[in-house]
Amino acid sequence: MNDRQLFREVVCHLLMGAALGTVFALALLALDARHLLEIIQRGTAPTTTLVVLVFGVAMYFGFGAAIAGFHFVIMDDRADRGR
């Protein structure tokens, strides 16, 4: 596997993880888990706080998925070379 294919695979995993993280953060807000949305709305900058929260969770999930995806791709490539 060349570098371009590896990069494409890692970016794909990053985007999938970020999408799942966004869904998770929005679900937390929609379900108002532990009154999170209520606390954010009472703050001084609720829009900024919402954006930072959703973006932060999305990137946290995305980076985790990218690292795991990188590991999976490298291990799969090694297994293919061993055959």
Instruction: Write out pLDDT tens, residues 25-66.
Output: 999 999 999 999 999 999 999 999 999 999 999 999 999 999
Helix, strand, coil share of the chain (percent; to 5): 90, 0, 10
Higher pLDDT, 78 or 83: 78
Angle (nearest 5°) at CA 64 between 58 and 68: 140
pLDDT of residue 1: 83
Task: For 1-15, write each residue's pLDDT tens digit.
Answer: 889 999 999 999 999
pLDDT of residue 83: 63
pTM, two decimal places: 0.88
